[in-house]
């Protein structure tokens, strides 16, 4: 089964720690296999690793990744999310389902070479908003919502509930 990877460009550890954490957590929740982040950030690696340890799945995180090389060498389809890109509804039917995907999101201004290196530049609406929102909507549409409640076999599993909180804990 093809995998979905995320590349986060422009991460500034102090300023972006919350947003990049949420980029990682949202993409994990919506079925991505892992995230590559350009700037080294061991704290972020530890925090995401801790969530994966408790809630399961195989999501991986690597920071300090040279993004130019990653874009050149990725074996699959590179998709850059940007408000300037092609409409999501028009792009979706043409995204290959048999290839791995690398979904690129920025922080601040994204260098022009990213637009050129990407196989597709796709917009999630034509208004500026957030990398977390753009990624979440993109992944949910791409996967038709099927990862929202998929089982991750975690030490902790939250059971959907109309009221109250139900958490099943595995004792190891």
Write out the residues near ligand SAM by the rule CB under 6 A. Answer: 81-83, 105-107, 109-110, 123-125, 127-131, 134
Instruction: Give least dist CB 129 to ligand SAM, A.
Output: 4
Q: Where are the beta strands (DSSP E) in the chain?
A: 4-8, 34-37, 60-63, 77-87, 101-105, 120-123, 156-159, 166-169
Instruction: Give least dist CB 41 to ligand SAM, A.
Output: 17
d(CA 141, CA 144): 5
Nearer to ligand SAM, 59 or 138 (CB): 138
Nearer to ligand SAM, 93 or 128 (CB): 128
DSSP state, residue 94: G
User: C-alpha angle with apex 104: 13 to 41, nearest 5 degrees?
Assistant: 20
Q: Which residue is nearest to ligand SAM (CB)?
A: 106
138, 124 contact by CB (below 8 A) = yes
Instruction: Give least dist CB 128 to ligand SAM, A.
Output: 5
Nearer to ligand SAM, 125 or 145 (CB): 125
Instruction: Give least dist CB 23 to ligand SAM, A.
Output: 9
């Amino acid at each position: 089964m093809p995998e979905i990877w995320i590349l986060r460009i422009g991460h500034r550890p102090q300023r972006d720690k919350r947003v990049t954490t949420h980029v990682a957590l949202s993409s994990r929740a919506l079925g991505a296999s892992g995230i590559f982040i350009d700037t080294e950030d061991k704290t972020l690696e530890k925090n995401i690793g801790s969530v994966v340890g408790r809630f399961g799945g195989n999501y991986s995180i690597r920071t300090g990744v040279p993004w130019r090389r990653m874009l050149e060498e990725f074996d699959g389809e590179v998709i850059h999310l940007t408000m300037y890109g092609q409409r999501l509804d028009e792009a979706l039917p043409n995204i290959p389902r048999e290839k791995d995907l690398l979904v690129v999101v920025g922080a601040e201004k994204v260098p022009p070479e990213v637009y050129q290196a990407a196989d597709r530049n796709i917009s999630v609406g034509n208004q500026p908003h957030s990398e977390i929102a753009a990624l979440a909507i993109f992944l949910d549409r791409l996967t038709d919502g099927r990862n929202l409640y998929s089982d991750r076999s975690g030490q902790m599993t939250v059971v959907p509930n109309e009221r109250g909180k139900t958490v099943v804990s595995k004792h190891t």
